[in-house]
């Protein structure tokens, strides 16, 4: 994709999803995050969160480490280098999208159909 192409074209379908973006954001900020913390912050069921984590893990964006603290099992999630890059790319694309939409809103003109596609 060239720099002049519409930012929507560069959005990664694995990353461009509210929950998965949330997982990547929290993991990026925390460096390492526990399953329970993510579930609470993102207000998800364990099953739902597990599905999203599997998608991200299969894409190589996060690493999942299971272990025990005492007798209690704990699952820790860390961001991979690819995950950090994917997150920063996604945020850059979102900012580009906002920058594209804002001038159109300010002048009261809608973006051309070929630009939005």
Partner 1 sequence: MTTEAAPADGDPRRLLSDLRALTRRVRLDQRMTWTALLVLAVLTLVAIPFDWFGMQVDCAADGSCTFARRGMLYYWPAAMVLAYATIAVCYLRAARTRGLGTRVLPYAITGAVTTIVFPAAWLAVFLYFRSHPYPDQPLPYWYFVLDRLVMPWGMIGVALLVLVWLERNVGLLLFTAGYLALVLLVLPMDFGMNVGFGPPHIGIRAGMALPQLFVGIVLLLGAAGFARAGRRRQQTP
| Residue ranges binding partner 1 (CB under 8 A) | 8, 11, 16-19, 21-22, 25-26, 29-38, 41-44, 48, 78, 91, 94-95, 97-98, 101, 116
Give the pair of three-digit tokens for residue 93: 């694309």
Least distance (Å) between residue 95 CB and partner 1: 7
102 touches 51 (CB < 8 A): no
Buried b (16+ CB within 10 A) or exposed e, 30-61: eeebebeebeeebebeeeebeebbebbeebeb
Residue with smaller CB distance to partner 1, 60 or 65: 65
Cα distance between residue 53 and residue 48, in whole Å: 9
Least distance (Å) between residue 33 CB and partner 1: 6
Residue with smaller CB distance to partner 1, 42 or 57: 42
71 three-state secondary structure: coil
Least distance (Å) between residue 37 CB and partner 1: 3
Least distance (Å) between residue 4 CB and partner 1: 18
Residue with smaller CB distance to partner 1, 37 or 73: 37
100 three-state secondary structure: helix
């Amino acid at each position: 994709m060239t720099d002049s192409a519409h930012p929507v074209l560069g959005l990664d379908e694995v990353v461009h999803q509210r929950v998965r973006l949330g997982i990547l954001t929290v993991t990026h900020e925390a460096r390492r995050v526990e399953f329970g913390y993510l579930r609470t912050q993102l207000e998800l069921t364990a099953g739902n969160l597990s599905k999203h984590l599997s998608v991200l893990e299969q894409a190589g964006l996060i690493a999942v480490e299971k272990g025990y603290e005492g007798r209690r099992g704990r699952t820790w999630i860390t961001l991979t280098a690819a995950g950090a890059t994917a997150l920063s790319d996604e945020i850059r694309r979102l900012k580009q999208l906002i920058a594209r939409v804002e001038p159109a809103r300010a002048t009261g003109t809608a973006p051309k159909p070929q630009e939005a596609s």
